[in-house]
Amino acid sequence: MSNTASLFFYIILFTSLVGLMGLYDYNYNKKHKKICNIIFLIVFIVLTFVSGFRYYVGTDYSNYIKYYHSYSFLEIGDRVLFQIANMISAEPQTIIFIYSFLTNLLVMLAIKKLGKKNGTMLIFASYLFIYLPFSYNIIRQGLSMALALYALAFLQNNQKKQTILLLFLSFLIHNSTIVLFPYFLVAMFSKKTEKISKKLILVTFATLIILFLGSPILSKLSIFNNYKGYFLKISFSNIDYNFILAYFPFLVLLFLFKKSICENTLLKNYCSIFFTGFLFEFLLSSSDISRIALYFSLIQIVLFPLLLNKIKDKYSRKIIKIIYYICLILYFIYVFYIYGRTEIFPYNNIYFI
């Protein structure tokens, strides 16, 4: 499939799946549980087929094929998954399918939980156009991020035991998840919810200081042997202005709705997390650090749909949601098609190469 054909394939596929999630929301409001379950299953199967049977799509795809039978250097959670995959089949594509299956399942369960009040359609659209492509590249971290997102869904309902369990599982898949622990702890154990956003900002600056001053020590810890490249000094000389341009429409949206954000505690907390990811990705001179930023910027798939649902006028809300969806498509085209991040073009599948 050519790059141009792949672009149309992605946009048509994603738009179709988003439309189905719109039907899911409609039937959920009508309390048609059986129809909701059927739609959920269809979306999951299609998404997993496209992800799980992709062929040499994503920067790290070839590494997972290469190390299918030699994975002893990975985290314990990944070793378990590789062992299971090898027990099922000697075909390396099996591990790609397993990671895709689990990542898609966890993300969809998280979105289903997070979208109970405000709908799942825009959250799902944000995930497809902004973060699904990253899961084709950083495959293990993609699963780790999915677990963290599901943990957030439980945290939002104050289900602390499930939150801690999912965070621990996320850590077993990718040790870099440890950077999220202070943020979750602040959110779980702060007595005054209105002060959480300020505490999150303080944690961010403390993290930046640790990365700046403590990187020589952290890089020597055995637990981080696979992530020594993450511990590089802060530098403002390599700021990637291409991604600032890509983020510009979302930053404008936050500015336009700053009053609504200031009046809502949850939105303030989400914004604090989002700007943490923004700072990490654009102010640190390391591609590895920008991967860590994804743990934080992932919050935008929940932040912006929640923000748009605060618009009181129904007509204005629909218009702005359409504009937001167009921005998602433009972001996808610019970052992944034109700029070439994550190498998801061209798309190929083992059943129609």
> What confidence tens digit (pLDDT) does each residue in 9-65 have?
999 999 999 999 999 999 998 889 999 999 999 999 999 999 999 999 999 999 999
Paired residues of 54 in beta bridges? 349
pLDDT at 233: 46
pLDDT confidence of residue 221: 58
Structure tokens at 329: 């498509």
Question: Is residue 107 predicted with pLDDT exceeding 50?
Answer: yes
**Picking from 115-119, 215-219, 345-349, which range would have the lowest pLDDT averaged per residue?**
215-219
Residue type at position 23: L
Reported as a pLDDT band with limits 50, 70 and 90, residue 292 is: confident
Using omega within 30 degrees of 0 as the cis cutoff, is the peptide bond preceding 216 cis? no
In terms of Cα–Cα distance, which of 53, 62, 134 is closest to 97?
A: 53
Considering the chain, what percentage of its residues have pLDDT values greater than 70? 88
Query: CA end-to-end span of the chain, whole Å?
Result: 7
Mean pLDDT of 139-152: 96
pLDDT band at 290 (very low <50, low <70, confident <90, very high): confident
Query: Average pLDDT for residues 96-103, to the nearest whole number?
Result: 98
> What is the mean pLDDT of the segment spanning 187-213?
83
Cα–Cα distance measured from residue 353 to residue 341, given in angstroms and rounded to the nearest whole number: 22
**pLDDT score, position 118:** 84
CA 281 to chain centre: 14
Instruction: Give the model confidence (pLDDT) of 251-281 as tens digits.
Output: 888 888 888 898 899 999 999 999 888 887 7
Torsion of CA 180, 191, 255, 337, to 10 degrees: 20
Q: Alpha-carbon distance 4 to 133, whole Å?
A: 16
In DSSP terms, 234 is beta-bridged to: 284
Residues 127-156: what's their mean pLDDT?
95
Percent of the chain residues topping a pLDDT of 90: 65
Give me the DSSP letters along 196-228.
Answer: HHHHHHHHHHHHHHHHHHSHHHHTTSGGGGGGG
Query: Among the listed ranges 20-29, 93-102, 204-213, which one has the minimum average pLDDT value?
Result: 204-213
Which of 107-121, 179-193, 255-269, 284-298 is least confident? 284-298
319-342 pLDDT, tens digit per residue, is 999 999 999 999 999 999 998 989
- Residue 231 or 182, more confident: 182
Q: Where are the alpha helices (DSSP H) in the chain?
A: 3-29, 33-52, 61-66, 76-88, 93-114, 121-126, 132-135, 139-156, 160-173, 181-189, 196-213, 215-218, 241-256, 258-262, 265-283, 287-297, 300-308, 314-332
What average pLDDT does the structure give for the chain? 88
pLDDT for residue 231: 52
- How much is the average pLDDT of 157-174? 95
Average pLDDT over residues 212-216: 61
Q: Tell which residue, 246, 242, 306, 245, has the closest CA to residue 273.
A: 306
The model's confidence at residue 223, banded by pLDDT at 50, 70 and 90, is low
Residue 298 clears pLDDT 90, i.e. is over it: yes
**Distance in angstroms (rounded) separating the CA atoms of residues 199 and 218:** 24
Decide if 219 contacts 228 (C-beta within 8 A).
yes
pLDDT of residue 310: 87
